[in-house]
Amino acid sequence: MEITHVHAREVLDSRGNPTVEADITLSGQHHGRAISPSGASTGEKEATELRDADPKRYQGKGVQKAVSNVNNQMRRRLVGQLFDTQAQLDEALIALDGTPNKSALGANGILAVSIAFAKAQAAARQVPLYRQLADRSHYTLPVPCMNVINGGRHADNTVDFQEFMIAPHNADSFANAIRMGEEVFHTLKSLLKGKGYVTAVGDEGGFAPDLKANDEAVELILEAISQAGYRPGTDISLCLDPATSELYEAGTNGAPGLYRFFKSTKKTMTSQELNGLWESWVSQYPIVLLEDGMGENDWAGWHQHTAALGSKIELVGDDIFCTNPLILQQGIDQHIANSVLIKLNQIGTVTETLRTMELAYANNYGCFVSHRSGETEDTTIADLTVALNAGHLKTGSGCRSERVSKFNQLLRIEEELGSAGKFAGLKAFKNQ
């Protein structure tokens, strides 16, 4: 159908920072609306999030330039045109931008338009978004990996590692998995409160206490799982995203890089020592997934990391791959990790995201779909996870509406699919 209207505006994300919302209307008044999220701990190779850098507005974080690019260049290119497929529209936007990282028009504006078009197409076909993205007879409902303790860049506390997640996989449905996760979440709150810890939450809805050590976070979560009546490792396992790129300091004059623990011990570790820590944790705790266990620029460390743990658990590359199929191919060729984190705004279009996921599956890599720390009420990643049968996703903790909106959408999808939807369970994770 012909695109008859394109419009963008500046709206707010969950951290109170501006982001881009876009509307697209097709002939027949079929409408789609989407909002771009924003990250805090970002990979160096991510597509460009265009900000105004005007200190008089939103402390320089305004997105009026990106909005203007949608309402001018993109609108002129798209309105009155026919695009039969998502790929045709996205390729037109990529060509219009003309840069390798979407720095001319801004990936935040491009992505909002890309997703809005997918939603408008779904409305025109009178199908849900997940079916518009991938039309199949049966779908997989994901394991919700819930970030219950926050640290790193996501919280002002003493915890170096960014995300400590629970994965309630021993359930017969997504609805029951969410119930299990929420029960542990509230049990953990009571446990923290009883030990005298503050139960305020971080950017992604997880608790952000000042702990004595990083491994105390794991111990507390395991205690909460047991107190809630579940078996650690059997019913609910752990997933970690330490976001080690934030800790990595490149070496100078040929010296190796080091990982500096800024918040807790103030000590440093070599790649080999950090790998030793992860091997110890995996042998000691029921960990099924480890994301960014090594920094994005520490490819040698990633080689060691994959050799040590790549046959035991799921090793997810986030900052190192940035949802970019070209970089992912390099990782595949060098046997780095065994899974890729999927963030739409890292690459900037729906089509490129789908290509990255297809490349991963073709090479026996997993896909772990993810939100960003600056989220919105947009629930696209819930539909994306189901559409591509990713089997697991992370979208935050058990509170904050921009996080649970994705859970609520998955509950609706599960209800709608009925017998055509099956909960992934433990097999969603590589090597389990």
Binding positions for Mg(2+) are 241, 291, 318
Work out whether strand 30-35 and strand 139-141 pair parallel, antiparallel, or are unpaired: unpaired
Q: Please state the length of the chain.
A: 432
| Selection from 290, 324, 319 nearest residue 305 by Cα | 290
Residues flagged as binding site for substrate: 154, 163, 291, 318, 370-373, 394
Q: Which of 204, 375, 402, 414 is catalytic?
A: 204
Check if 204 is active-site: yes
Residues flagged as binding site: 154, 162-163, 241, 291, 318, 343, 370-373, 394
Residues flagged as binding site for (2R)-2-phosphoglycerate: 162, 343, 372-373, 394
Q: Which of 343, 375, 406, 414 is catalytic?
A: 343
HEC profile of the chain: CEEEEEEEEEEECCCCCEEEEEEEEECCCEEEEEECCECCCCCCCCCCCCCCCCCCCHHHCCCHHHHHHHHHHHHHHHCCCECCCHHHHHHHHHHHHCCCCCCCCCHHHHHHHHHHHHHHHHHHHCCCHHHHHCCCCCEEECEEEEEEEECHHHCCCCCCCCEEEEEECCCCCHHHHHHHHHHHHHHHHHHHHHCCCCCCECCCCCECCCCCCHHHHHHHHHHHHHHCCCCECCCEEEEEECCHHHCEECCCCCCCCEEECCCCCCCEECHHHHHHHHHHHHHHCCEEEEECCCCCCCHHHHHHHHHHHCCCCEEEECCCCCCCHHHHHHHHHCCCCCEEEECHHHHCCHHHHHHHHHHHHHCCCEEEEECCCECCCCCHHHHHHHHCCCCEEEEECCCCHHHHHHHHHHHHHHHHHHHHEEECHHHHCCCC
Check if 402 is active-site: no
Rg of the chain on CA atoms, in Å: 21
> Distance between CA atoms of 267 and 57, rounded to whole angstroms?
39
Instruction: Enumerate the active-site residues.
Output: 204, 343
